[in-house]
């Protein structure tokens, strides 16, 4: 049974890393096309060397390629604004869309939280790199508590791992991640911050997660967090706790003010993470690329396995 052909739109850091992952690790997908808008991009040059059909004429160039008719799933690694146009054209052509931008047209998907729940949707949104790394921790606190009043994440990534697409999406990153902290993580109020760190040598992706919860004990929360770390490690081996989970009681005598909610007390949980990349394209410090492309690949690969099974029946 032949593998399902895919295309990647966006020949920058994320798209190139994803292409290499598809070619090296996917059980059910094979590259059908690599799409960019800069004919001199390293991603397109690398794809050509790997004998992957390419175009530097964007979505319209892809639709003109003879290979397009055999492509069943398309990964979009461009920008939130560009995805609005790309998605409409791709879905009109009957293509499955995996969205690696913060456009959030389709349902939020984080493999460790909602697994294959959305794989049959025509458009699946992978939230953001920071969201993929941190929201599983908010969810882990929520499932061990009665209530998560607030969830805040700070994602720090190497400036070298943030290409033009990532930089163009900073506002959308914070908005989409904040929303997903609430929708997927279960927090009543979410906030997201991203830091592009220019340090040399480049630092590995670091993430800090803060939650304020009620109705849960420390042992149960910590056990839930450790279980979630193991779940994410199944597809991102370099995902790990940087320090032991920290707790602080916020008493009724000194509550904190949560925007939109008011004065609140409870158990503050601080989770510090490190995400080391698999170094398929950029070096290992670019864990932000690795967790995003790994999550997108496992989601698409599961869908492709289902398609192949149906075709074989």
Domain 129-286 has CATH 3.30.565.10: no
pLDDT (tens digit per residue) in 32-66: 999 999 999 999 999 999 999 999 999 999 999 99
| pLDDT value of position 37 | 97
Q: Using 70 as the pLDDT threshold, list the residues of the chain that sit under it.
A: none
| pLDDT value of position 39 | 96
| pLDDT value of position 92 | 98
User: 4-127+291-312 sits in which CATH class?
Assistant: alpha beta
The structural domains of the chain, with segments of one domain joined by +, span: 4-127+291-312, 129-286
Told to judge if 6 belongs to the known catalytic residues of this protein, a careful annotator would answer no
pLDDT (tens digit per residue) in 229-258: 999 999 999 999 999 999 999 999 999 999
**Catalytic option among 33, 113, 129, 184:** 129
User: What's the per-residue H, E or C state across the chain?
Assistant: CCCEEEEEECCCHHHHHHHHHHHHHCCCEEEEEEECCCCCCHHHHHHHHCCCCEECCHHHHHHHCHHHHHEEEEEECCCHHHHHHHHHHHHHCCCEEEECCCCCCCCECCHHHHCCCCCCCCEEECCCHHHHHHHHHHHHHHHCCCEEEEEEEEEEEEHHHCCHHHHHCHHHHHHHHHHHHHHCCCECCEEEEEEEECCCCCCCEEEEEEEEEECCCHHHHHHHHHHHHHHHHCCCCCEEECCCCEEEEECCCCCEEECCCEEECEEEEEEEEEECCCCCCCCCCCHHHHHHHHHHHHHHHHHHHHHHHHHHC
| pLDDT value of position 196 | 96
| pLDDT value of position 168 | 87
| Mean pLDDT computed over every residue of the chain | 97
| pLDDT value of position 54 | 98
Share above pLDDT 90 across residues of the chain, in percent, rounded to a whole number:
96
Evaluate if pTM is beyond 0.85.
Answer: yes
């Amino acid at each position: 049974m032949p593998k399902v052909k895919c295309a990647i739109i966006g020949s920058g850091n994320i798209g190139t890393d994803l292409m290499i992952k598809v070619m090296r690790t996917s059980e059910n997908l094979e590259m059908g096309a690599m799409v960019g808008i800069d004919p001199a991009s390293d991603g397109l040059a690398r794809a050509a060397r790997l004998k992957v059909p390419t175009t530097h004429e964007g979505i319209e160039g892809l639709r003109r390629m003879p290979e397009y008719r055999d492509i069943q799933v398309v990964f979009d690694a461009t920008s939130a604004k560009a995805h609005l146009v790309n998605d409409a054209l791709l879905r009109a052509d009957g293509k499955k869309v995996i969205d690696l931008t913060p456009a959030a047209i389709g349902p939020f998907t984080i493999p460790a939280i909602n697994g294959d729940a959305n794989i049959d949707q025509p458009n699946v949104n992978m939230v953001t790199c920071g969201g993929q790394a941190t929201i599983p921790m908010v969810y882990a606190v929520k499932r061990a508590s009665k209530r998560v009043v607030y969830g805040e994440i700070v994602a720090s990534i190497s400036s070298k791992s943030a290409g033009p697409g990532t930089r163009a999406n900073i506002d959308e990153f914070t908005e989409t991640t904040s929303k997903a902290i609430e929708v997927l993580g279960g927090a009543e109020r979410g906030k997201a911050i991203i830091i592009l760190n220019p340090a040399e040598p480049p630092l590995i992706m670091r993430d800090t997660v803060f939650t304020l919860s009620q109705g849960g004990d420390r042992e149960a929360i910590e056990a839930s967090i450790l279980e979630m770390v193991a779940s994410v490690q199944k597809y991102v081996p370099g995902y790990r706790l940087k320090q032991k989970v920290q707790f602080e009681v916020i008493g009724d005598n000194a509550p904190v003010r949560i925007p939109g909610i008011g004065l609140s007390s409870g158990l503050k949980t601080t989770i510090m993470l490190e995400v080391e990349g698999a170094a398929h394209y950029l070096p290992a410090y670019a864990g932000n690329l690795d967790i995003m492309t790994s999550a997108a690949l496992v989601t698409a690969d599961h869908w492709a396995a289902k398609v192949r099974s149906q075709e074989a029946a």
